[in-house]
Structure 1
Amino acid sequence: MISVVCVYNDEKIFNDFLLKSLKNQTAEFELIGIDNTSNEFKSAAVALNYGGIKARNKYIMFAHQDVSFIPDTWLEDAEKFLNSIADLGIAGVAGMSESGNSNQERGRNIIKHGEPPEAWSWGSRIQKPEPVQTLDECLVIVPKSTFDVLKFDEKTCDGWHLYAVDYCLSAKERGFGVYVLPMEVYHLSKGGVNRKKLKSVNGSLPDDYYNNLKKVLKKHANTYKIIYTTCGEWNTIYPVTLQKCSFLTKTFTHLHTLLKHVKD
């Protein structure tokens, strides 16, 4: 059985997406909703640790408020996959393999995004659980036995970004496996960043993303040379400021190419 933990800041979205979808599920579940509409929790790690400690079931799912499950047997099907993975430390629905020549090639998922729902064109579609380096934060599942010994790092990830990435790397360093499941979900937010909600932005990623990134890279520098996330690839040796400039250059170049293609 799965315990579902969600910290939400928009009750309508929470009710219309995650909660509505859960009510249609064929499997029983435990819901631990964490109301953060008053900004009581200042980071995802603190909020999710608070909820995860309350969980009573074999698996703990940490999901965003704007996620819906496809189909109604999602929880039941997911648990079958989870039970089949001997070294499971954490699983998710979108992640980054270390194999591939670009972020596009390294991506693994079968997610649908946006309004109206459409298949996410980023990454490779999968048909079975695949090992990856890191997972996207939209939905991850951790065995309770793993969570009992490894919580989200509240000091390294003191904001709302990269907490699952850091968890994946820490889990792998302890010998646990990290996997993407071939489980389809609908995620309202398009891509890794919901730009409508960003208030402090320098480029296409928020400033607090880079603040957390700096600490994640430092923490795992002795184990990894490159850390792959759904937003990009990051070198643990070079300063984040330098990589930020490089990321922006690549982003603007990509946008310019797309605009040129549209005009042509």
Structure 2
Amino acid sequence: MISVVCVYNNEKIFNNFLLKSLKNQNAKFELIGIDNTSNEFKSAAEALNYGGEKAANKYIMFAHQDVSFLTDSWLKNTEKLLDSISNLGIAGVAGMSESGRSNPERGRNIITHGRPPKAWPWGNRIQKPVPVQTLDECLVIIPKHTFDVLKFDEKTCDGWHLYAVDYCLSAKEQGFGVYALPMEIYHLSRGADNKKKFQSIRGPLPDEYYEILDKLIKKYSDMYTRIYTTCGDWSTSYPAVLQRSYYMQRLIVHLDKIFNSRSNL
């Protein structure tokens, strides 16, 4: 049986997506909904540790409020799949392999997202559980016996980003396996689209992302040469602020080429 933990800040979205699809499931589950509309919790790690400690079942699922399961047997089938993986530390529906020449080539998922719903135009579709370096935060599942010995790092991840990435890296260092699952979900978030808009010179990601990323770089610099995330691939040899500047310079050059090509039409 799976315990489902969700921290939500929009009750309407929570009810219309995650809760609605949970009610359609043909398997029993435990729901631990954490209402954060008043900003009681200041970080995802803090809130999810609070919810996870209340969980009573074999697996603990940490899901975003805007996630929906696309079949009524999603929970049942997922639990069977989890039971087949030995030494499982954490699993999710979108992961980053260390194999590949680019961020999209390293992606592993079968997610549908956005409005109207469409397959995520990123990564490689998978047909079986595959080992990955890190997982996206939209939905991850941790065996309770693993969570009992390894919690989300509230000190390093003191905001709302990269907490699953950090957990994956810590789990791997303790000998646990990290897997992406071929279990399709619908995720309302338009995060992948928003990355293309680049609305300000600060870049497509918020300041908080880079602040936490810098902590991850310091934490894992002796263990990993690169950290692969769904939002970017990061070297552990340089501070996040330098990598952000390099990324923005490449972005500006790319946008200049697009602008100049259109001007010459």
- TM-score under structure 1 normalisation? 0.93
Q: Aligned letter for 1:162?
A: L
2:50 aligns to what? 50
1:20 aligns to what? 20
Give % identity.
72
- TM-score under structure 2 normalisation? 0.93
2:79 aligns to what? 79
- Residues 118 and 242 of structure 1, relative CA distance in 2, 3 Å threshold: same
Q: Spell out the pairing of 1:1-264 with structure 2 (5 A cutoff).
A: 1-191=1-191, 202-252=202-252
Q: Aligned letter for 2:237?
A: I
CA distance in 1, matches of 2:263, 2:94: 32
5+ unaligned residues in a row in structure 2: which ranges? none
Does the CA contact (< 8 Å) of 1:90 and 1:141 recur in 2? Answer: yes
Offset of residue 250 of structure 1: 3.8
CA distance in 2, matches of 1:3, 1:181: 18
Offset of residue 191 of structure 1: 3.0
Does the CA contact (< 8 Å) of 1:107 and 1:122 recur in 2? Answer: yes
| Number of residue-to-residue matches in the alignment | 262
SS in 1 for 2:122: coil
Q: Aligned letter for 1:209?
A: Y
- Residues 86 and 163 of structure 1, relative CA distance in 2, 3 Å threshold: same
Offset of residue 10 of structure 1: 0.2
Q: Aligned letter for 1:116?
A: P
- Residues 241 and 92 of structure 1, relative CA distance in 2, 3 Å threshold: same
SS in 2 for 1:54: coil
Q: Aligned letter for 2:37?
A: T
Offset of residue 87 of structure 1: 1.2
Q: Quote the RMSD (CA, aligned, Å).
A: 2.3
SS in 2 for 1:33: strand
SS in 1 for 2:211: helix
- Residues 25 and 207 of structure 1, relative CA distance in 2, 3 Å threshold: same
CA distance in 2, matches of 1:259, 1:159: 36
The structure whose Rg is larger is 2
Does the CA contact (< 8 Å) of 2:201 and 2:248 recur in 1? Answer: no
Q: Aligned letter for 2:69?
A: F
Does the CA contact (< 8 Å) of 1:204 and 1:248 recur in 2? Answer: no
- Residues 211 and 77 of structure 1, relative CA distance in 2, 3 Å threshold: same
SS in 1 for 2:223: coil
5+ unaligned residues in a row in structure 1: which ranges? none
Does the CA contact (< 8 Å) of 1:171 and 1:178 recur in 2? Answer: yes
Offset of residue 201 of structure 1: 7.8
CA distance in 2, matches of 1:193, 1:157: 25
Q: Aligned letter for 1:217?
A: I
SS in 1 for 2:37: coil
SS in 2 for 1:55: coil
Does the CA contact (< 8 Å) of 1:200 and 1:207 recur in 2? Answer: no
